Structure 1
Amino acid sequence: MSIKKGLKCLVTGAGRGIGRALVAELHGQGAVVYALSKNPANLSKLKAEFPRVVPLCVDLSSTRDIKKVLEPIEPVDCLINNAGIFEPGDFLEASSESFDKQFNINLKSVITVSQITARKMIEGGRGGSIVNISSISGQRPEQGIAVYCCTKAAIDMLTKCMALELGPHKIRVNAVAPANVDTDLNQPGSYGQEEKDKVEENQKILLARTPTGTLWMPMKDIVNTTLFLASDLTSQITGQVLAVDGGYLAN
């Protein structure tokens, strides 16, 4: 996957997982990367490994902090809204606190970051591209993660609405919807045994329904798909939610 050297790109959730992999590839191809994360330690490691990266430490749960940090930076050519959180829990036990937390990060912050970035793209007159990282969970329900599924379904619709409104300004908006990716977000970690059992059961179902027989989608596939949509290799793909799922949603 090749991108234009000197491309200016803002990546949220850049400190780990998919975001970090995107930053590494963009940096390696000569892009100017603004890497946003709330974790200063992760940003320090990123800067040490990729010296041209511009680190931005922001807690995306705060609209005020987002505006304070992003409004002063230069216009970028592309935005990748990758940051997200995942809190499992059955529907009957889902708390308002967990609902607010997941929707604030997974949806509200995407709107705020995209508004700031898109306005600058429009003012610059050159257009650009925005890629939202969604999930197959936005299109196929899963037990035990009802609120998370709803946040990703909302991202899918937001992507289409943004494409509709921003298209006249030459701004393309698409989403990438991965199946399982082997990042710390998908690891049981400190879950209780009951939650671990549910995660494992969901993974068994996912694997059985995936035509390619792949449980963990290769990070390279996610990165290449995202950067293709972010690049100028296409001018007419917009409003799409592209699944990287081994054929799961087709089954």
Structure 2
Amino acid sequence: MYNFNMAGLNLAGKNILVTGAGRGLGRAIAIALAEHDSKVFALSRNPSTLDSLVKEQPSIEPIVADVSDWQETRRKLEDLRTMDGLVNNAGIIDTDPATKVSKEKIYKILDTNLLGAINCTQVVANKMIQVGRPGSIVNVSSNTSLIATAIGILPYAMSKGGLDAATRQFALELGPYNIRVNSVNPALFRTTNMSAQLTEEFPELIKQMELRTPLKRLAEVNDVTGPVLYFLSDLSSMVTATCNVIDGGTLNCTVY
């Protein structure tokens, strides 16, 4: 499932931190990197999912932390070796109408999806700068930052719009140190816990999305893992400050 044979990635021996790595996309990215002989540091707030990940890929080093806890995450990351790459994948979603969502719920989602990514980027990038090491940072954003896709996800869309802005700003300020920052912006996945939460609440969503997509299917986890590995690799050495939509053509095509 996670086997990639992309020539020229040259990821072997690179130290790469993946947040939200216990399940779903983060887990797939961590496994794919390990299969490319990267030294993977997998961060998740759930020890049991990390245990199963390490059982599957013993070379992966687990880190138990909740990225919404700024100080705890910072302490744990500052103890790590200098990274060559970072994937800010940790994210949560909750649903409420935009006219009713509470400030507390907005803050909860921003703390994880946006501030958590900023915090991890600061620590990892500063360590790269201190030793003069080039690197690549990939933010897992969403097409909800670019288009209104579903009712009830205002805080999530806000967090991903902010993450796209952070991607560009970090790319600008880290560029002189040869540290690149890009985002991937997938549409709804078919096979993740987050998509299951949405489709249970909105059962017609999958069918509607497939009808609106020129490729007539939703993204699978591996459709996003490959682009993430590309941005971590030297194949994308002149690519930074970009937001990359992975949606089967939905954003730029009108399908009747």
Normalising to structure 2: TM-score of the pair? 0.92
Contact 1:8 1:32 in 2 (8 A): yes
* Matches for 1:86-101 after TM superposition, within 5 Å: 86-101=93-108
Residues 115-139 of structure 1, C-alpha deviations (whole Å, 9 max, x = no match): 0000011112121000000001110
Residues 96-132 of structure 1, C-alpha deviations (whole Å, 9 max, x = no match): 1110110000000111100000001111212100000
**Aligned match of 1:158:** 166
Q: Which blocks of at least 5 consecutive residues in structure 2 are unaligned?
A: 1-5
Residues 25-79 of structure 1, C-alpha deviations (whole Å, 9 max, x = no match): 1111111000000001111111111111110000111111011100011001000
- Alpha-carbon shift at residue 218 of structure 1 (Å): 2.2
Contact 2:91 2:113 in 1 (8 A): yes
Equivalents in 1 of 2:58, 2:114: separation in Å?
30
Contact 2:199 2:206 in 1 (8 A): no
Residue type matched to 2:215 in 1?
A: T
Equivalents in 2 of 1:95, 1:200: separation in Å?
25
**Aligned match of 1:122:** 129
1:184 counterpart = 2:193: yes
- Alpha-carbon shift at residue 239 of structure 1 (Å): 0.4
Contact 2:109 2:159 in 1 (8 A): yes
**Aligned match of 2:47:** 40
Q: Which moved more, 1:17-26 or 1:139-148?
A: 139-148
Contact 1:177 1:244 in 2 (8 A): yes
- Alpha-carbon shift at residue 204 of structure 1 (Å): 4.0
Normalising to structure 1: TM-score of the pair? 0.93
**Match 1:73 to one of 69, 80, 88:** 80
1:172 counterpart = 2:174: no
Indicate the SS of the match to 2:109. helix
1:243 counterpart = 2:240: no
Equivalents in 2 of 1:12, 1:84: separation in Å?
9
Contact 1:143 1:202 in 2 (8 A): no
1:229 counterpart = 2:231: yes
Q: Percent identity?
A: 38
Q: Deviation above 4 Å: which 4+ runs of structure 1?
A: none
Question: What count of residue pairs does the alignment treat as equivalent?
Answer: 244
Q: Which blocks of at least 5 consecutive residues in structure 1 are unaligned?
A: none
Residue type matched to 2:197 in 1?
A: P
- Alpha-carbon shift at residue 207 of structure 1 (Å): 2.4
Equivalents in 2 of 1:178, 1:211: separation in Å?
15
Indicate the SS of the match to 2:81. coil
Contact 1:138 1:149 in 2 (8 A): yes
**Aligned match of 1:137:** 144
Residue type matched to 2:166 in 1?
A: L
Residue type matched to 1:167 in 2?
A: G
Contact 2:199 2:205 in 1 (8 A): no
Residues 134-188 of structure 1, C-alpha deviations (whole Å, 9 max, x = no match): 0011101132211111111111111111111110110000000011112011113
